[in-house]
Amino acid sequence: MDFALNEEQRILRGQILRFAQDKLNKDVRQRDRDQVFQRELWGACAQMGLTGLPVPQAYGGPGLDSLSTAIAIDALGYGCEDSGLVFSICAHLLACVVPIWKFGTEQQKNRYLPGLCDGTLIAANAMSEPESGSDAFAMQTRAEPHGDGFLINGTKTFVSNGPVADVAVVFAVTDRAKGYFGGITSFLVDRALPGYRVAQKFEKMGLRTSPIGELVFEDVFVSKDAVLGGVGGGSRLFAHSMDWERACLFASHIGTMERLLEKAVAYTRTRRQSGQAISKHQAVAHKIADMKMQVEAARLLVYKAAWGLERSQSVSLDAAVSKLFVSESLVRTTLDVVQVFGGYGFLSEFEVERAVRDAIGSKLYSGTSEIQRNIIAGWLGL
């Protein structure tokens, strides 16, 4: 494996860095405070190809390979201080667009992918439920045969992009007797359909510019053409999308960690205590060294998992390892940066306190840290 960036990847990284720094960071503090999702910024990101990175050009995307997709998201995380916007883009792309591209029929691809790639459509993944949480086996949402399609009934919660989504990838039980592996089906459900309702938008600690909420489906009729990945294929589709999400979404956190590292280094060189820069204090320098180690290790793990998406039948182990390490390293890095900044790190006018709030969720979404440890243990035969 050679993870040295080729010329195209270096150009791509530079373009996204400059775009994010120039266009996406205005009024970040205010947007975070007010929980504002800006559709115009979404459109700008779409023009850069960020909402459809790996999608083939025939369907409206740039057609990047999986490793280049991770490199692009890494650059976005570094350049964009609005982690909520980055998260929304990744949730849209990796948990919705990729499954449509990988599992959709030609009709579904032609109907949805161009709009999802050019920014006119926003997608949400509706898997979690109020009672089941991480236990997909306890899913209560049902899709029952009705005429030439299905009637969907149920409630989904913690749906990223839910309040603003135009289409949702909805998972429902179609045959409880077959259990999770064969009894779950995914559907493409348009927001305009009767019975589709945004029940509420949640207020949250971090990633506040990424809207999240609860979706309710009350006798929502979808035709058989809305089935994504075949009846009973929902678990396989979900597992595949989670591999992409764990491998590529967390690339954005590497960019965030690297930006915070550079911010901490610059601060320690100018902040003086006891007559010298605090960078000369071993306790401070060791924190900085640990941050650098975590960034480098995280990047290798994520790039390895992303590289494997197109070269292996399953990257679930690599994706779980990288997700677990990156999420816990991100939280640790943000807390260490606050410690380095001292009292200034506790003030809202600096990015670092917001970075802590944004980081906490990384140990929860895409499967909690405990779930990742279960996956790793399972692969080890434990």
Question: Of residues 214, 245, 351, 353, which has the active-site annotation?
Answer: 245
> Interhelix angle for 351-360 vs 316-341, to 10°?
150
Buried b (16+ CB within 10 A) or exposed e, 266-304: ebbeeeeeeeeebbeeeebeebbeebeebbeebbebbbb
CA–CA distances in Å: residue 167 to residues 116, 188, 364: 9, 7, 24
Would you say 159 and 212 are in contact if contact means Cβ atoms under 8 Å apart? yes
Give long-range contacts, CB 8 A cutoff, 24+ apart: 296-300. 297/325, 297/329, 298/250, 298/253, 298/254, 298/257, 298/322, 298/325, 298/326, 298/329, 299/74, 299/254, 300/3
Per DSSP, the three-state class of 99 is helix
Asked whether the beta carbons of 253 and 77 are under 8 A apart, the reply is yes
SS3 376: helix
In eight-state DSSP terms, residue 24 is S
Q: Choose among 89, 79, 85, 78: nearest CA to 21.
A: 79
Q: Please measure the distance between the N-terminal and C-terminal CA atoms of the chain and give it in whole angstroms.
A: 29
Q: Which residues contact 107 (CB under 8 A, 6 or more apart)?
A: 225
Asked about 106 being catalytic, the answer comes back as no
Dihedrals φ, ψ of 381, to 5°? 75, 25
Are 83 and 207 a contacting pair, CB within 8 Å? yes
**Structure token digits, residue 105:** 């029929």
Token digits of residue 215: 């979706």
User: Which amino acid would we find at residue 110?
Assistant: N
Which residues are catalytically annotated?
245
